[in-house]
Structure 1
Amino acid sequence: MSRFSFLGWPVVRQFGSGDPLGRGEAVTSPKTRVISPRTSTADRVVQSVCPYCAVGCGQRVFVKDEKVVQIEGDPDSPISRGRLCPKGSASEQLVNAPGRQTKVLYRAPHAKDWQQLDLESAIEMVADRFLEARRNNWQQNDEHGRPLRRTMGIAGLGGATLDNEENYLIKKLFTAAGAIQLENQARI
């Protein structure tokens, strides 16, 4: 263990080094002097948009060896001007989390275990069920003969991890299919 010395105190280093405001060398620890930021070792920087809400804050995604190493606010963004909320600041974890699912999983009714499906089979399964629910629950007219042209068998819940354009297209799809029960998590 090293001996205690008053000369190691930051305030003493401030005045002894000519840094009386403590904004430079006097307050830099030996550990800080030898480390470098993850952003300095990145192979490339990609501009992106935060996926969490509909605000559309700009992000700078730092990539090294085709892996995201850091995400920061984009100072060139007219929306966020380089700032991110706590969720946006932590969005690197969305990409690199060890528990992130990268395969389609399906659990059949009354089954205990999940099974992997290929993406094409899963999309076909969802499309078939969507069309069947629409067909089985279609309401052309009400009891007085007035046109309804809707289905109560389909509902949509949008999420804030999609941007405005994606939510707009999903709303158009569901409306064109006759669904009237549409909501978005950002509004709830």
Structure 2
Amino acid sequence: MGVRDWIGSWPVYRQATGDDPLGRGAAAKSAGTARLTARVSTADQVVKSVCPYCAVGCGQDVYVQDGRVTQIEGDPDSPVSRGRLCPKGSASLQLTTGSAREYGVLYRRPHGTDWERLDLDTAMRMIADRVIAARRHGWQWEHDGKRVRRTLGIASLGGATLDNEENYLIKKLFTALGAVQIENQARV
């Protein structure tokens, strides 16, 4: 590489002699950066989502390639966050691809010290049995002489990122079970 080639590859020289006097485009681009491509350029689709961490509800663009999440970025179309994410939201890709992600059900028996793996059907049956038992144990037909038909044995506290439709369905489910303590964290 001669001196002339070396000077021509210098960003300040390209800035002073080229079409980019402010050094915001081609003048600042090196051969190395010209070879780079965006992580999201190979995605098959972009799915709109909401960050799961807090009640703010920042919009996210979830990039999917071959059925796998490859990148999560802030959604610039979101009126809530306008494309910005906090550190937790920026790291939410770990929720789908992180090495600490569990893909099975872990259960620790009462007074136990070790976790055991359960299949999903067994875990769902255990949950259903416990909901039925808590409902049956806490059921009240009457209270202070008034018919109430309710249970105080179960309650629901919805997550901060549930949307209106999910909250509506949860409210319907727990009301049908007879629960009266139904709340959403986003409103608390």
In structure 2, how many angstroms separate the alpha carbons of the residues matched to 1:81 and 1:140? 47
Q: Say how many residue pairs are matched.
A: 181
Query: Counterpart of 2:178 in structure 1: which amino acid?
Result: G
CA distance in 2 between partners of 1:148 and 1:180 (Å): 10
| Cα contact 2:151–2:178 (8 A) shared by 1 | yes
Q: Show the counterpart of 1:165.
A: 165
Alignment of 1:1-188 (within 5 A): 11=12, 13-42=14-43, 44-52=44-52, 59-73=60-74, 83-86=83-86, 88-143=89-144, 145-188=145-188
Work out the CA distance in 2 between the residues paired with 1:89 and 1:57: 11
Query: Which ranges of structure 1 fall in alignment gaps of 5 or more residues?
Result: none
SS at match of 1:41: coil
Q: After TM superposition, which residue ranges in structure 1, 4 or more long, deviate above 6 angstroms? A: 5-9, 53-57
Deviations 1:55-89 (CA, angstroms, capped at 9, x unpaired): 776644322333211234556x5756963533554
Change (3 A) 1:78 1:8: closer
Percent of aligned positions that are identical: 55
Cα 1:79–1:146 change in 2 (3 A) is same
User: Which stretch shifts more, 177-186 or 124-133?
Assistant: 177-186
Unaligned stretches of 5+ in structure 2? 1-5
The CA RMSD over aligned residues, in Å, is 3.0
Q: Which stretch shows the higher mean deviation, 29-38 or 113-122?
A: 29-38
Give the deviation of 1:107 after TM superposition.
0.4
SS in structure 1 at match of 2:153: strand
Task: Normalising by structure 2, report the TM-score.
Answer: 0.79
d(CA) in 1 for partners of 2:174 and 2:64?
Answer: 36
Q: Give the TM-score, by structure 1 length.
A: 0.79
Counterpart Cα distance in 1 of 2:47 and 2:80: 13
